[in-house]
Amino acid sequence: MIEINNLENWIKEYFEDPENVKKAEKACERYDRLMVKNVRRQLMMGVEQINVIGDIDDPGKVLEKAKYEILPFTKVDGKKGKVRINMLDRTAEFIAD
Protein backbone atom coordinates (compact mmCIF):
# COMPACT_ATOMS: atom_id res chain seq x y z
CA MET A 1 0.00 0.00 0.00
CA ILE A 2 1.31 3.43 -0.96
CA GLU A 3 0.93 6.11 1.70
CA ILE A 4 0.73 9.72 0.53
CA ASN A 5 0.68 12.68 2.90
CA ASN A 6 0.35 15.50 0.37
CA LEU A 7 -1.04 14.58 -3.05
CA GLU A 8 0.17 17.77 -4.76
CA ASN A 9 3.77 17.28 -3.64
CA TRP A 10 3.62 13.59 -4.46
CA ILE A 11 2.48 14.19 -8.05
CA LYS A 12 5.28 16.73 -8.57
CA GLU A 13 7.82 14.16 -7.36
CA TYR A 14 6.13 11.46 -9.46
CA PHE A 15 6.68 13.42 -12.66
CA GLU A 16 10.26 14.33 -11.76
CA ASP A 17 11.17 10.69 -12.35
CA PRO A 18 12.35 10.32 -16.00
CA GLU A 19 10.64 6.93 -16.30
CA ASN A 20 7.26 8.46 -15.41
CA VAL A 21 7.86 11.34 -17.83
CA LYS A 22 8.40 8.78 -20.61
CA LYS A 23 5.19 6.98 -19.62
CA ALA A 24 3.32 10.29 -19.80
CA GLU A 25 4.74 11.08 -23.25
CA LYS A 26 3.76 7.63 -24.53
CA ALA A 27 0.27 8.07 -23.06
CA CYS A 28 -0.09 11.40 -24.90
CA GLU A 29 0.99 9.82 -28.19
CA ARG A 30 -1.39 6.90 -27.76
CA TYR A 31 -4.28 9.18 -26.79
CA ASP A 32 -3.64 11.36 -29.86
CA ARG A 33 -3.61 8.33 -32.16
CA LEU A 34 -6.88 7.06 -30.68
CA MET A 35 -8.52 10.48 -31.06
CA VAL A 36 -7.48 10.66 -34.73
CA LYS A 37 -8.88 7.17 -35.23
CA ASN A 38 -12.20 8.21 -33.65
CA VAL A 39 -12.44 11.35 -35.77
CA ARG A 40 -11.73 9.34 -38.93
CA ARG A 41 -14.42 6.85 -37.94
CA GLN A 42 -16.90 9.67 -37.43
CA LEU A 43 -16.01 11.15 -40.84
CA MET A 44 -16.51 7.77 -42.49
CA MET A 45 -19.93 7.48 -40.84
CA GLY A 46 -20.88 10.84 -42.34
CA VAL A 47 -21.85 12.59 -39.13
CA GLU A 48 -22.76 16.26 -39.42
CA GLN A 49 -20.82 17.33 -36.36
CA ILE A 50 -17.50 15.84 -35.21
CA ASN A 51 -17.45 15.00 -31.51
CA VAL A 52 -13.90 15.47 -30.23
CA ILE A 53 -14.36 15.74 -26.49
CA GLY A 54 -18.03 15.02 -25.83
CA ASP A 55 -19.79 11.69 -25.84
CA ILE A 56 -17.42 9.57 -27.89
CA ASP A 57 -18.48 6.00 -28.45
CA ASP A 58 -15.82 4.28 -26.35
CA PRO A 59 -17.28 0.98 -25.14
CA GLY A 60 -13.98 -0.51 -23.99
CA LYS A 61 -12.91 2.70 -22.23
CA VAL A 62 -9.87 2.75 -24.55
CA LEU A 63 -9.43 6.53 -24.35
CA GLU A 64 -9.78 6.49 -20.57
CA LYS A 65 -7.19 3.72 -20.24
CA ALA A 66 -4.78 5.68 -22.43
CA LYS A 67 -5.31 8.88 -20.45
CA TYR A 68 -5.23 7.63 -16.85
CA GLU A 69 -3.01 5.45 -14.71
CA ILE A 70 -4.64 4.10 -11.58
CA LEU A 71 -2.78 3.21 -8.41
CA PRO A 72 -5.02 0.95 -6.31
CA PHE A 73 -4.49 0.35 -2.61
CA THR A 74 -3.44 3.88 -1.75
CA LYS A 75 -3.77 5.71 1.54
CA VAL A 76 -4.04 9.51 1.37
CA ASP A 77 -4.37 11.50 4.59
CA GLY A 78 -5.40 8.34 6.45
CA LYS A 79 -8.16 7.38 3.98
CA LYS A 80 -7.97 4.26 1.83
CA GLY A 81 -8.78 4.36 -1.86
CA LYS A 82 -7.03 4.75 -5.19
CA VAL A 83 -5.17 7.52 -6.98
CA ARG A 84 -6.09 8.26 -10.58
CA ILE A 85 -3.22 9.96 -12.40
CA ASN A 86 -4.07 11.97 -15.50
CA MET A 87 -1.03 11.31 -17.66
CA LEU A 88 -1.96 14.03 -20.18
CA ASP A 89 -2.44 16.90 -17.72
CA ARG A 90 0.02 15.50 -15.18
CA THR A 91 -2.43 15.80 -12.34
CA ALA A 92 -3.90 13.31 -9.87
CA GLU A 93 -7.05 12.81 -7.89
CA PHE A 94 -7.82 10.60 -4.92
CA ILE A 95 -10.89 8.39 -5.11
CA ALA A 96 -11.93 7.11 -1.69
CA ASP A 97 -13.30 3.58 -1.29
Residue range 12-35, pLDDT digits in tens:
999 999 999 999 999 999 999 988
Answer yes or no: is pLDDT of 77 > 80.
yes
Q: Which long-range contacts (CB under 8 A, 24 or more apart) does 64-73 make?
A: 66/27, 66/30, 66/31, 66/34, 67/27, 67/31, 69/23, 69/27, 71/2, 73/1, 73/2
Position 59 scores a pLDDT of 65
Position 39 scores a pLDDT of 84
pLDDT in tens, 44-67: 888 787 777 655 666 678 888 899
Answer yes or no: is pLDDT of 80 > 60.
yes
**Burial call 48-84: b when 16+ CB within 10 Å, e when fewer:** eeeeeeeeeeeeeeebeebbbbebeebebeeeebbbb
H or E element, residue 62? helix 62-67
Position 13 scores a pLDDT of 95
Position 56 scores a pLDDT of 61
- 58 versus 94: the higher-pLDDT residue is 94
Do residues 90 and 15 make contact, with C-beta atoms less than 8 angstroms apart? yes
